[in-house]
């Protein structure tokens, strides 16, 4: 989500007070869950759960979204969110590429998310992009806004899990369509050339957003003056979006250090949905998606042993904590019918697309590009075009497309 507004716009009303009871409950869930995981599984899972909580807090306090950042650029050429994404990616590749080339970090083997580019992958990324705008969020956005109290995003999350389960059931068919082998630019080109190429691409994208935004508005649209300052802002938000970009890159690197692979989100949705399908009598265990020994172990084991599941739950709880710290946890249970329909349709597209595309805006785009995978860049292009279609479809479902009045800059 973007906190942007016109330059010089006055700050909003006095921010709400911290919701102490909800803060206490969220802290209990975070710290109690960490202790429980440490005893039930191990210290690493406990640390990953806490790391997920940190990700949820950062996403909420920085209002760091992919969906609205792309939407406001498509609709009104505001590029602050896209530029923040480029900063996040630049920091990530600087951290990831040398480590992935070495193959280990502090003595632990590490590997990136490198996946093939193919017909199914491109189609999946495109419908994921469409689903982003229909559902009102991406994978990370769905989790943190649901944790922050959005009932509509709970609908999207449920449909996301359904779509992921259907995608897992069908992935073998899509994977058989024409595709390239997995390509890592780090392995193919070497660390330095890969870094130079990626950093140049990030700079070019950021520069293009500056050019188009100035052409539309006469100046760069800037954030309003924050209502809170100092420690109050650090604790309760809102944070500058660039602070969120830096924090997310560092936390993704921390995930690589702890888990041995980057941050991902949507594989857990397929796991949860397939477990529910088995409980309903479906033979999910025989789907090709679950055929490998590690996948079978995940399907038949506890979700507490699954890294992605534990981190996803942590994100929800961390966002709950952030919303309560900001004094903004206030679930609204009335969702307009057209908006609810869009949430469900968008969620199914998000889940199905993520499975076909080997990940979402986090696993394929953020972590894919950070891993040096060609498919991360292809995902970004295909998903962007899906976002274009989704942005123009939003009004049919009564959903807002944010705009800023034109400024001449004279």
With beta carbons less than 8 A apart as the criterion, state whether 49 and 306 touch: no
What average pLDDT is seen over the chain?
Answer: 90
With beta carbons less than 8 A apart as the criterion, state whether 350 and 160 touch: yes
Query: CA dihedral defined by 125, 72, 246, 53, rounded to 10 degrees?
Result: -70
Q: Which pLDDT score, from 0 to 100, does residue 121 have?
A: 97
With beta carbons less than 8 A apart as the criterion, state whether 72 and 4 touch: yes
pLDDT in tens, 314-324: 999 999 999 99
pLDDT in tens, 245-299: 999 999 999 999 999 999 999 999 999 999 999 999 999 999 999 999 999 999 9
pLDDT in tens, 354-380: 999 999 999 999 999 999 999 999 999
Please tell me the least confidently modeled range out of 34-43, 70-79, 110-119, 232-241.
232-241
pLDDT in tens, 30-58: 999 999 999 999 999 999 999 999 999 99
How far is residue 346 from each of residues 44, 157, 266, measured CA to CA in Å? 34, 10, 15
Dist CA 206 CA 7 (whole Å): 19
Dist CA 30 CA 259 (whole Å): 19
Range 113-125 average pLDDT: 97
With beta carbons less than 8 A apart as the criterion, state whether 257 and 106 touch: yes
With beta carbons less than 8 A apart as the criterion, state whether 151 and 333 touch: yes
């Amino acid at each position: 989500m973007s906190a942007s507004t016109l330059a010089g716009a006055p700050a909003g009303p006095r921010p709400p007070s911290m919701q102490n009871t909800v803060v206490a409950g969220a802290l209990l869930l975070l710290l109690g869950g960490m202790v429980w995981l440490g005893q039930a599984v191990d210290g690493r899972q406990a640390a990953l759960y806490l790391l997920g909580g940190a990700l949820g807090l950062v996403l909420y306090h920085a209002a760091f979204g992919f969906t609205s950042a792309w939407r406001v650029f498509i609709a009104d050429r505001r590029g602050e969110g896209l530029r923040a994404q480029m900063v996040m990616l630049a920091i990530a590749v600087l951290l990831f590429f040398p480590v992935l080339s070495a193959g280990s970090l502090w003595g632990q083997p590490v590997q990136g998310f490198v996946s093939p580019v193919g017909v199914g992958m491109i189609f999946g990324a495109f419908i994921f992009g469409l689903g982003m705008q229909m559902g009102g969020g991406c994978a990370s956005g769905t989790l943190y806004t649901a944790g922050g109290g959005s009932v509509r995003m709970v609908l999207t999350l449920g449909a996301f899990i359904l779509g992921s389960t259907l995608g897992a059931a069908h992935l073998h068919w899509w994977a058989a369509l024409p595709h390239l082998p997995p390509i890592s630019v780090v392995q193919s080109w070497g660390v330095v050339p890969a870094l130079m190429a990626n950093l140049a691409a990030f700079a070019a994208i950021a520069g293009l957003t500056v050019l188009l935004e100035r052409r539309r508005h006469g100046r760069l649209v800037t954030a309003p003056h924050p209502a809170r300052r100092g420690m109050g802002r650090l604790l309760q938000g809102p944070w500058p979006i660039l602070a969120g970009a830096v924090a997310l890159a560092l936390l993704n690197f921390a995930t690589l250090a702890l888990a041995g692979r980057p941050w991902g989100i949507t594989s857990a949705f397929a796991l949860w949905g397939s477990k529910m399908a088995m409980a309903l009598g479906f033979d999910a265990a025989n789907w090709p998606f679950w055929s490998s020994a590690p996948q079978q172990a995940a399907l038949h084991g506890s979700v507490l042993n699954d890294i992605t599941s534990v981190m996803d739950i942590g994100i929800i709880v961390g966002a709950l904590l952030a919303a309560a710290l900001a004094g903004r946890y206030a679930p609204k249970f009335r969702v307009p019918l057209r908006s609810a329909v869009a949430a469900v349709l968008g969620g199914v597209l998000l889940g199905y697309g993520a499975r076909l595309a080997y990940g979402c805006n986090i696993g394929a785009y953020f972590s894919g590009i950070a891993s040096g995978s060609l498919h991360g860049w292809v995902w970004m292009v295909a998903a962007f075009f899906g976002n274009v279609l989704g942005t123009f479809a939003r009004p049919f479902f009564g959903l807002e497309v944010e705009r800023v009045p034109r400024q001449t800059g004279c």
